[in-house]
Amino acid sequence: METICVQKILVPIDFSEASLNALNTAIFMAQRQHAQIILFHVVNTYSILPNPDHDIIYDSNLEKLLDEHLKNIRKLADKITHQYFVDCRAFIRTGLVSSEILRASIDFYADIIVLSTYSTSSTNNHFRIGSNTLSVIKNANCPVLTVPPEQKFEKFSTILYPIRPVKGALEQYDLAKTILRENKAELIVVGMVDNTHKESFELLNQETALLNQKLKEDNLKAQSYFYFSQDMPNKILEKAQDFQADLLVLTATLDHKVQDYYLGPFVERILHFAKIPVLSIRPKPSDTLEIAPVNHKNYAIKMLGII
């Protein structure tokens, strides 16, 4: 079967320690897969204020801020290129952070987005992952790898692959296979059901049989386990710890509610509490990408970069 080729890795960077840690993971991915890194920084447009007549008013410090950030991100890109021998390009835009990351993933034909999760000094773990990260995962047309800030992840040795009785449960397989081979990693397949409905077992059996067929065709081996749990997110996180996994691959299923799309509670809980990188792959992109419209009368959008 054809293997997905990861050629472009988009890495949103805000120069924080957490985002630089995610970049570190992306660098080693790029080395293994001979991919290009696209460093991307967004300056929030709150620094641009429209007047009542809809004329554009520039913050006097905006141009200096853009030039300073562009200089810093180019310097970082040059360092990566020369130190790690990875093709690295740098871009900067103004706008809303999550919207511009989504635009960039399309404009630059990114195969994957690598970004940090969100860490605060609060003891409330419900705020472990930021709204921008959730928005990117929810709307991105490509897979998203989130990297927690607690430790460095330069190689994936054990990949945990949960299968649930949901539509599109195996659509993450091709990219997982690529990462599996490039890292020479061990694959742990975990089948999960949360009820005793016949339909759930039948669908899980179908998905498992299909996965086994794919693994056989690709001459890959995996350890397989099955669990029943009414708290699947907690069970999967527990198993990730038991198996000492360093990558978790998820199907980022969406729930359609009140004319908007939301990540299902299964995915959100894992993203909030995972202590290892999580690769989120949506089964089907939504028909309309949730990107904030740009009113050129009210905002000045500036793109700087190296092409």
Closest CA to 8 of 28, 33, 37: 37
Strands ordered across the beta sheet of 223-228 = 223-228, 186-193, 158-163, 247-251, 278-281, 144-147, 112-116, 8-12, 36-44, 88-95, 303-305
pLDDT at 59: 55
Is there a domain that residue 1 lies in?
no
Amino acid at position 132, single letter: N
Q: Parallel, antiparallel, or unpaired for β 278-281 and 56-57?
A: unpaired
pLDDT tens, residue by residue, 240-286? 999 999 999 987 765 444 333 445 677 888 988 999 999 998 765 44
Domain count, the chain: 1
Is there a domain that residue 186 lies in?
yes
CA distance 18 to 149: 5
Is there a domain that residue 2 lies in?
no
Parent domain of 196:
8-305
Is there a domain that residue 171 lies in?
yes
Is there a domain that residue 3 lies in?
no
pLDDT at 128: 58
Are the C-beta atoms of 52 and 298 separated by less than 8 Å? no
With a cut of 70, which residues of the chain have pLDDT below it?
Answer: 1-4, 45-60, 118-129, 167-169, 253-264, 283-307
* Rounded-to-5 percentages of helix, strand, coil across the chain: 40, 25, 35
What Rg value do the Cα atoms of the chain yield, rounded?
A: 20
pLDDT at 282: 75
pTM for the predicted model, two decimal places: 0.82
pLDDT at 25: 97
Amino acid at position 88, single letter: C
Read off the CATH number of the domain in which 295 is found: 3.40.50.12370
Is there a domain that residue 218 lies in?
yes
Q: What is the DSSP string of 35-55?
A: PEEEEEEEEEGGG-EE-TT--
CA distance 136 to 106: 12
Q: Using the CB atoms, write b or e for 283-294: b if 16+ within 10 Å.
A: eeeeeeeebeeb
